[in-house]
């Protein structure tokens, strides 16, 4: 296989955004649950981006890999133009962070070698 064939077969990641519907159930201040369904945009992540996201920084042992993954891979807005910062991703409600991290993993097929 040559490099052009590799690119044609998807071996080089196109960072195009993928529209992904998500559903998040939250508990409102009055104790009632509310289910919200909305679209987010997920960025396809290359090996280099994934490696950078997962890099452990010895000077910051409190760094969240999930927050970094969300900040790198999730976009909001009508066409994915809004990025979420690491700080905001770190402050997400845990159930929402879970839903968003699953969306990133699904689009990028992370964790299931049979789908890579």
The structural domains of the chain, with segments of one domain joined by +, span 7-109
* Burial (0-12, 13-18, 19+ Cβ within 10 Å), 49: middle
Tell me, what's the pLDDT at 116? 45
Closest CA to 36 of 45, 27, 46, 23: 23
User: Is residue 68 within 8 Å of 53, Cβ to Cβ?
Assistant: yes
The pLDDT tens digits along the chain (116 residues) read 999 999 888 889 887 899 999 999 998 889 899 999 999 999 999 988 888 888 766 677 678 889 999 999 999 999 999 999 999 999 999 999 999 999 999 998 865 545 44
Tell me, what's the pLDDT at 61? 66
Quote the pTM value.
0.83
Tokens 């976009």: give the residue. 75
CA distance 110 to 1: 25
Tell me, what's the pLDDT at 10? 84
Tell me, what's the pLDDT at 43? 96
Q: 1: which residues sit within 8 A by CB, 6+ positions away?
A: 9
Tell me, what's the pLDDT at 76? 98
> How many residues are listed for the chain in this entry?
116
Closest CA to 71 of 109, 106, 100, 111: 100
């Amino acid at each position: 296989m040559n490099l052009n064939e590799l690119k044609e077969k998807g071996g080089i990641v196109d960072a195009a955004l993928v529209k992904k519907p998500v559903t998040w159930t939250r508990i409102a201040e009055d104790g009632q649950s509310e289910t919200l369904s909305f679209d987010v945009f997920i960025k396809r992540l290359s090996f280099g981006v994934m490696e950078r996201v997962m890099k452990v920084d010895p000077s910051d042992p409190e760094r969240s890999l999930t927050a970094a993954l969300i900040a790198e891979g999730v976009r909001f807005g009508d066409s994915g133009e809004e990025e979420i910062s690491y700080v905001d991703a770190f402050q997400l409600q845990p159930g929402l962070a879970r839903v968003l991290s699953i969306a990133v993993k699904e689009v990028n097929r992370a964790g299931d070698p049979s789908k890579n």
